[in-house]
Structure 1
Amino acid sequence: MSGHGFHVHGPHDHELEHAAQQHGAESHAGQLAVVTAILATVGALFGYMAGATQANAGLYKNNAAIKKTEASNQWNYYQAKSSKQNLAELAIELAPESRKAFYLDEVKRYKTEKAEIQSDAKKLEEQSTNWDKQSDEQIHMHHRWAQAMTALQVAIAMAAIALLTKRKLFEYLVYGFGVAGTVAGALAWFHI
């Protein structure tokens, strides 16, 4: 090097400049690798939540079907009691006077039993409806978790492309899809 206005590079200076440039690129690649690892970790958590909510949705739908079947059984039982009540009412008309009191008591008993059965059937139908609603909520959350996970997977793919091509556009896509996935995960977390 000279102090008179012109600059001469020696082999050592050239290697130092090259190393500094490489270090900057490696540092950037390292940062993108860390972001990718974080996205993969969060994506794995989102994937777990997507699977859990999907399993819950199926379980709740199954519970709804069981309660619906139980309600149907109660309504069939109610119908059987109605048929017996109708026969007892007919018997009142056809039976001799000495047997009418018995059939009147039977009609009262069937009416009381039917009221209890009807109440049970309505409760079971309500439980079935509640399980259906819970299943629908879980499947909605599943979709949110799946959307979040998919966005993070796209972000990870964009990170690989950004590292290979060294193009800023793909780096911006990494951050864009990463934010979109995180927002979708937050919406799922808050049941929105």
Structure 2
Amino acid sequence: MTHDPALDAHEHAEHAEHAAHAGDPFISQVSITVAILAVLAASVGSLETVEEGRAITASAEAVLRQDEATDAWNEYQADSLKKHVYGIAADAGGPRAAKYAATAKDQVAKQDEIRKRAQEDEADRDKLMKESALHEHRHHWLTGGATLIEIGIAICTVAIITRRRSFWRGSILLAVVGLALFGAAYLA
């Protein structure tokens, strides 16, 4: 079963509208609270989904950068072997010794470029992993915030059924704590 914050918000608003027709001012206040909380829950839930997607995307990009760095280091090692082979061939002497020595020297310059590329890929990977962790951190805080607001909506329903203000106040308190978690997601 999938969770759709927008659909949940719509359903809660409809229930609140039906309860508001009862004519009781308290019921009307609680119904308005339900509608407001439903909008807040949908908003926080949507941001939660966005942060989750960003975390996954940044993590996937980090894996790609790691693959590119690994490929570059493999190329670096292969060129290192070539450099040594040409160096041995140059040391052996013969008519092509100068050419082998030049090729070995060229491999050193090529290796420097490859090392730089590999290190840049690793730096990008590290940056993307930190970005992914930040989005994941926000996702967790937003999950808590949306959950508390949704619990507040459920408690509002209890307040409507029992006509007890303490439940209504409790639901508002939960929503305030949920909004504090929302704020913590972007401040922490």
Q: TM-score range by the shorter chain?
A: 0.7 to 0.9
Q: Distance in 2 between matches of 1:101 and 1:70?
A: 34
For structure 2, list consecutive stretches of 5 or more residues without a partner in the other structure: 1-22
Rg (Cα) greater in structure:
1
User: What's the C-alpha RMSD, in Å, of the aligned pairs?
Assistant: 1.3
Aligned-pair CA distance for 1:148: 0.8
The number of residues matched between the two structures is 166
The 3-state SS of whatever aligns with 2:87 is: helix
2:16 equivalent in structure 1: none
Q: Distance in 1 between matches of 2:179 and 2:134?
A: 20
Q: Which amino acid counterpart does residue 49 of structure 1 have in structure 2? A: L
Identity %: 25
Contact kept in structure 2, 1:141 and 1:191, CA below 8 Å: no
Structure-to-structure mapping, 1:1-192, within 5 angstroms: 26-96=24-94, 98-188=95-185, 190-192=186-188
CA deviations over 1:58-109 (Å, ceiling 9, x no partner): 111110001110110000110110010010111122232x322112111110
For structure 1, list consecutive stretches of 5 or more residues without a partner in the other structure: 1-24
**Runs of 4+ with >6 A deviation:** none
Aligned-pair CA distance for 1:37: 0.5
1:20 equivalent in structure 2: none
CA deviations over 1:25-69 (Å, ceiling 9, x no partner): 810111111011000001101111000110111111110001110
TM-score (norm 1): 0.83
Contact kept in structure 1, 2:27 and 2:163, CA below 8 Å: no
TM-score (norm 2): 0.84
Q: Which moved more, 1:47-56 or 1:100-109?
A: 100-109
Q: Distance in 1 between matches of 2:163 and 2:82?
A: 83
Q: Which moved more, 1:77-86 or 1:98-107?
A: 98-107
Q: Which amino acid counterpart does residue 166 of structure 2 have in structure 1? A: L
Q: Distance in 1 between matches of 2:92 and 2:173?
A: 83
Contact kept in structure 2, 1:155 and 1:174, CA below 8 Å: yes
